[in-house]
Structure 1
Amino acid sequence: MPGTVSSLELFPPLTRSGLRQFLTSAWYPKFQRSTIKTTTIPLDDAFRAYMHADGVTIPRGADDRLVVRILRPAGSMLSDDEGDDGDDGDDDPSSVFEFPDLDRSIREAIAAYDGAVFPKLNWSAPKDARWISPSPPLRCLSPADVYLLIKSSDFVSHGIDAATAFEACIDNDATVNPHSASHDGLPLELVLKKYYVMQESREVRCFVRRNILVAISQRDPNYYEFWNEDATQTKIRQTVAELFQREIQQRWEGPTDYVVDLLLTRDLNRAHIIDFNPYAPRTDSLLFTFDELLAIAEDEVLQTQLPVLRAIDSRNHPSAARNTPQYAHNMVPLDLIQASAGQDYAGFAGNWEDAIREAMAKQQDDSD
């Protein structure tokens, strides 16, 4: 771990231009040989309006297979008359969305990537909406699958407005228009990665200060015995340090303080880049605190050694997963929580079913 790190701040200053370097379209061209195959699709103001629109609806013309799988178990069919209470609602026809060019681009990416993709919007993946898709989660086979996931995600919705995205930047301008896709230089982009069944037990998060790799954390909050074997930990530290020096350190063009997520191969000899994240409070420091990371980065002895590694060392570790599912507090979009009005599961499911069926029927009526 060569280099010298001194006089660091807990969090380095972050500018808007620096933050934009963490968009996939900014870093993917330089790292495509070291990461998962990815297609990035620029989006316009119409799509931003769709993301800001109330409710979870599927744009007209998109394949709705995922919606049908959610609303009814396999072998069950929706009736056109089922649940119709005669209330047409107050929806404005102008709120019906369709994106034929985007649908086509998504289908082309799905076809190019063996039939399935994993979506992101700007910096955010809809991991908090994984509950809404059938197993395997976050696997998208059609444009409708993509739309449903990103529209149901709080993570995604929080990351698409300049007012939110740039709020911690030292050159933030609070007067930007939050409904313009091009405002203040913040693009809106859909990222489609080739879908793989990721072994979360082999994912690591790496912390970099002034372009020096200082620490590595296990990402999955579960205990794995192999993570606590001395030989395994040494192997992981060596593999990550070598990859960083060979593939990342001299090629990364963004801020010199950053976080990079990696997926180790089964033999732990290689790793693939998953994503880059800003070194900022918005990024989860996992098994470290940011104060601890600062102390590690300023330790001259540690700077001459392999990066510090932390793992879940027992099933009783305070960070270890328990019975509560990850992102449990995100498991229902806010508008559905409001619609549930304290009903039981059956009533809630009925509301969810009615909302999507009515939206799809309205889209069909408007097209006739």
Structure 2
Amino acid sequence: MTEEEAPCPPLLYPTRAEVDACAYPNWPERVKLNGLDATVIPIDRSGPAYAWLLSDGIDMTVIDRWTKSRNPPEDSDSEDTETQTQTQAEAEAEAETDHPAVYELFDTIEATIKKYDGTVFTKTDWSSARDVSWIYNASNGLRACTVEDVVLYLKSSDFITHDLMMPYDGCVDVEEGDVSLPPTVHLVLKQFYDLRVANEVRVFVKDGKVLAMCQRQSDVFFAHLLEEEEWRHPMVEKVHKFMGERMLEPMQSVGLDKFVCDLYVTPGQGYVRVIDVNPWHPATCDAGLYTWEELHTLSLSPPASPCDMRVVESQAGIVDTRVLSSGFPLEMTQGMMGVDGMTLDDLVASMKECNMQ
């Protein structure tokens, strides 16, 4: 077998401890200080608030009842006829969802939104609701201004559900049938900033060294990133400096020598902020403008000089992402397979051609 025909070595997957280390509450303080302001709200996995988050459907009437519970009518005779004639089944259903712990969660969310001047970004330990941004107007940057907004993101997102139910899926040290989960999940509400996605960089770290980097939004073409001297090179220099001085050592101190992080870089103003830290996980983390096979091969023979940043070089060069794929309804995705020989990849290619016209 020739070298070109040699199969790629098995891809690396994370351990349970590495996944835990990437959860926002477990970030080293030095890393949090270089991130965006955030408030962590713990949710007991055995409690009613967690059960409500996983319950089927999105029943927003529970928020209406929570609002009314804080401002009860002074005269009970003035209650709505609908409330007075409530059926026993409706009362039992409300008793299951309208638990004091659920109302307390709403209270905390509302207080946090006020703390951050009325807008927050919603995520859990590892993931945000980026997969549903196409539903709730992607141009708003997943801005949440009300408790209703936060609840919609939490209850709609498959990425969030994965955090809640399967955080250790694919870990190398999890045996088949092991369904153990951490006792607490965390809702992380970050102060909302209107970030320019062109300034976001995805960095791949292996063996405590920066292995590769690329623009985070691999499904968008930013022409100005092709200007090396004015944009790309200053961004690359700042990323390498930041990683060496403020990121690599703290993450190694919590047992992480391989991970993927997203940074916000401003070439002109010169500051770098940590957006997120992700496990080195081919099944749940996008490889950006690389493939996981390519990254694994790079890790076996790391480049001697500091890496450059890959960027999308034209509209034809955009790459499909988990977020983009999640924008297709399941029925549509399944229906595309095998119909007139067309697959989902063919559909994405067709969309690229339309964007170029």
TM-score by length of 2: 0.73
What residue number does 1:352 align with? Answer: none
Residue type of the alignment partner of 2:266? T
The 3 A distance-change label for structure 1 pair 299 and 184 is closer
- Provide, for residues 129-155 of structure 1, a one-character-per-residue CA deviation record: whole Å limited to 9, x for no partner: 224435624211222211111101111
The 3 A distance-change label for structure 1 pair 228 and 176 is same
Q: How does 1:41-190 map to 2 (within 5 A)?
A: 41-44=41-44, 45-58=47-60, 59-60=62-63, 61-62=65-66, 92-98=93-99, 99-133=102-136, 136-161=140-165, 164-175=166-177, 183-190=180-187
- Provide, for residues 97-150 of structure 1, a one-character-per-residue CA deviation record: whole Å limited to 9, x for no partner: 342222222122212212110111221211122244356242112222111111
**The residue matched to 1:316 in structure 2 has which SS?**
helix
- Provide, for residues 323-345 of structure 1, a one-character-per-residue CA deviation record: whole Å limited to 9, x for no partner: x977422599xxxxxxxxxxxxx
Residue type of the alignment partner of 1:39? T
The 3 A distance-change label for structure 1 pair 22 and 243 is same
Q: 2:201 touches 2:263 (CA, 8 Å); kept in 1?
A: yes
What residue number does 1:361 align with? Answer: none
The 3 A distance-change label for structure 1 pair 319 and 306 is same
1:212 and 1:319 mapped to 2: Cα distance? 25
Cα RMSD of the aligned pairs, angstroms, is 3.1
Q: 1:129 touches 1:331 (CA, 8 Å); kept in 2?
A: no
Q: 1:63 touches 1:143 (CA, 8 Å); kept in 2?
A: no
1:217 positional shift: 1.0
Residue type of the alignment partner of 2:12? P
Percent identity (aligned): 24
The 3 A distance-change label for structure 1 pair 327 and 12 is closer
2:329 and 2:264 mapped to 1: Cα distance? 25
The answer to whether the aligner puts 1:33 opposite 2:33 as a matched pair is yes
What residue number does 2:300 align with? Answer: 298
1:241 positional shift: 0.3
1:31 positional shift: 1.6
1:316 positional shift: 1.6
The 3 A distance-change label for structure 1 pair 174 and 188 is farther
Could you say which structure has the higher helix fraction?
Answer: 2
What residue number does 1:219 align with? Answer: 216
Residue type of the alignment partner of 1:188? V
1:195 positional shift: 0.5
The 3 A distance-change label for structure 1 pair 320 and 48 is closer
The 3 A distance-change label for structure 1 pair 9 and 279 is farther
Report how many aligned residue pairs link the two structures.
Answer: 294
Which blocks of at least 5 consecutive residues in structure 2 are unaligned?
A: 1-7, 69-80, 332-357
TM-score by length of 1: 0.71
Q: 2:198 touches 2:222 (CA, 8 Å); kept in 1?
A: yes
1:25 positional shift: 0.3
Q: 1:215 touches 1:307 (CA, 8 Å); kept in 2?
A: yes
Residue type of the alignment partner of 1:217? C
1:169 positional shift: 1.6
2:28 and 2:118 mapped to 1: Cα distance? 21
Q: 2:49 touches 2:105 (CA, 8 Å); kept in 1?
A: no
Which blocks of at least 5 consecutive residues in structure 1 are unaligned?
A: 1-7, 65-79, 178-182, 333-368
